[in-house]
Amino acid sequence: MKTQMIKLTSVAFMAVAILFSTAISAQDKQKKKKVETIEIQSSVVCGMCEERVIENMAFEKGVKDVKVDLETKVITLTYKTNKTDEETLKKAITKIGYDADELEADPEAYEKLPACCKKDAPPH
């Protein structure tokens, strides 16, 4: 009788452990697969700006896709939420030398931009 009770307890414990680990695994998969797309208003002006942003942001951790619309000056980023966040991406854009929504471009990075990529440069 005692042996039967131990076996039943062991089976119940194993069942609970399996259910718990399955639930955790499912949650982890959801977190890993979560991808978001954001639009950031910037100070990009020309094709060189577009190339610079795409090249630099492609190496940012978690970034899956980068698009730059020169007409609206909007940078569209698709990224993995478990790898990075919106604020980190905005800061990365400012370090390239461009404004990112409410964040001003890093002054040192901005000074290194070619004249055609400065905020006051006419569209070309």
Listed in order, strand segments (DSSP E) in the chain are 35-41, 63-69, 74-80
Supply the pTM of this predicted model: 0.72
Kindly report, residue by residue over 14-63, the tens digit of the pLDDT. 655 566 666 565 555 555 669 999 999 999 999 999 999 999 999 999 99
Q: Is there a contact between 83 and 11 (Cβ–Cβ < 8 Å)?
A: no
Q: What is the largest CA-CA distance in the chain?
A: 89
Enclosing H/E stretch for 58: helix 47-58
